[in-house]
Amino acid sequence: MEPEIVNGTDLVVQRPEGLYCPAGDFYIDPWRPVERAVLTHAHADHARRGSAHYLAAAPAEGVLRARLGEITLQPLAYGETVEHRGVRISLHPAGHVLGSAQVRLEQGGRVWVASGDFFVSGAGDRNPTCAPFEPVRCDCFITESTFGLPIYRWRPQHEVLAEIDAWWRANAEAGRASVLFAYSFGKAQRLLAGVDAQIGPIVVHGAVQLLNDAYRQAGVALPPTQLGTEVVDRAVLQRALVVAPPSVQGTPWLRRFGDYSDAFASGWMQLRGTRRRQGVDRGFVLSDHADWPGLHAAIDASGASRVIVTHGYEAVMVRALAERGLQAGAFATEYGDAALEGDGAA
């Protein structure tokens, strides 16, 4: 389902390479190499190698270089504006991961915002690992819909983190490691910044440590962590919280921890069937994406009369928005299922 093109003047359209701004001749999160790419954040389903020139929020520079290697990157401070071929471009916090941004485009009095992925914090919640989501007023808002179903409604995240602490503490007292599967970029750092590091040592997989280093270099405070391959004292492992990507589940890497309890932290843990399929002892519902109320709150805060839905349950969201009287359509993307492919922040 594609949104209606209004007189051929839309600021963003869909092309085989990705979402394209015809007036500015650049792409937003292209999934194929292009000349100019504006990136919303560094997850692999949004930031891909091969483009000639990248523009991204300045806080994302370290994680982008850690993931993409040597690239030509123009970092832009949040709220700073650049103009390209008559289109004014600015980037604004999305609250998703370090350096995540909404892309604001302005030309001829029209304003469009492409949100990328975003997270709207609930009352009493604070994620110290990235700048919080900031609403941006616009005429047309391009929204993600990863969790665009009414069933997805997050509990306060500090409550979930307290449950993780209780699980870890109980395991440590029983002399077993607590293996917590979480995506290496974004979710792992949110967990590390939110748990009680006084409970015991924290051990991480190398993929997590690589991103931890980039976060620390960006000034984000994280507790001390050790690589699992470097720990030789079994007493350390028996009280440790072990943070690792889901891809290591069932691999020899886990054998060093002996008797352990495992859990998965993800928004997909809201569904019992997903918890069963993951085959873990516990599922903690913790997400870096907006839930159903958060999606609608962000759309309302934008003031947009037109909304384009992408990256998730597009049809459900489009129908709900149309019932509210908004002009709604959808862009199809090549984004994979981040929850199961292991490189998202669900």
CATH number at residue 169: 3.40.50
pLDDT for the residue numbered 345: 60
Is 7 inside any structural domain?
no
Q: What are 329's two structure tokens? A: 């359509």
Is 189 inside any structural domain?
yes
pLDDT for the residue numbered 341: 37
Question: Do both 144 and 195 map to the same domain?
Answer: no
Is 22 inside any structural domain?
yes
Spatial distance between the Cα atoms of 99 and 97, rounded to a whole number of angstroms: 6
pLDDT for the residue numbered 232: 81
* Domain range for 244: 157-284
Is 2 inside any structural domain?
no
Question: Do both 276 and 292 map to the same domain?
Answer: no
Q: For residue 277, which phi and psi values (nearest 5 degrees)?
A: -65, -30
Question: Do both 94 and 208 map to the same domain?
Answer: no
Spatial distance between the Cα atoms of 64 and 185, rounded to a whole number of angstroms: 11
- Measured from the Cβ of residue 221, the count of other Cβ atoms closer than 10 Å reads 10
Is 210 inside any structural domain?
yes
CB 57 within 8 A of CB 48: no
Is the whole-model pTM more than 0.85? yes
Question: Do both 169 and 204 map to the same domain?
Answer: yes
Question: Do both 146 and 190 map to the same domain?
Answer: no
Spatial distance between the Cα atoms of 177 and 167, rounded to a whole number of angstroms: 11
Is 346 inside any structural domain?
no
Q: DSSP labels for 86-136? A: TEEEEEEE-SSSTT-EEEEEEETTEEEEE--S-----TT---TTSPPP---
Question: Do both 64 and 169 map to the same domain?
Answer: no
Question: Do both 294 and 148 map to the same domain?
Answer: yes
β-pair partners for 26: 21
Question: Do both 255 and 280 map to the same domain?
Answer: yes
pLDDT for the residue numbered 8: 67
Written as tens digits, the pLDDT of the chain (346 aa) is 444 444 468 999 999 999 999 999 999 999 999 999 999 999 999 999 999 999 999 999 999 999 999 999 999 999 999 999 999 999 999 999 999 999 999 999 999 999 999 999 887 788 999 999 999 999 999 999 999 999 999 999 999 999 999 999 999 999 999 999 999 999 999 999 999 999 999 999 999 999 999 999 999 999 999 998 888 888 888 999 999 999 999 999 999 999 999 999 999 999 877 767 778 999 999 999 999 999 999 999 999 999 999 989 999 999 999 999 999 999 987 754 443 334 556 6
Question: Do both 169 and 242 map to the same domain?
Answer: yes
Spatial distance between the Cα atoms of 97 and 117, rounded to a whole number of angstroms: 9
Question: Do both 254 and 306 map to the same domain?
Answer: no
Question: What's the structural domain count of the chain?
Answer: 2
Distances (CA, A) of 165 to 6, 89, 92, 150, 258: 52, 42, 33, 28, 21
Question: Do both 134 and 186 map to the same domain?
Answer: no
Q: For residue 151, which phi and psi values (nearest 5 degrees)?
A: -65, -25
Q: For residue 186, which phi and psi values (nearest 5 degrees)?
A: 100, -65
Is 39 inside any structural domain?
yes
Nearest in space to 139 (alpha carbons), one of 291, 308, 332, 333: 308
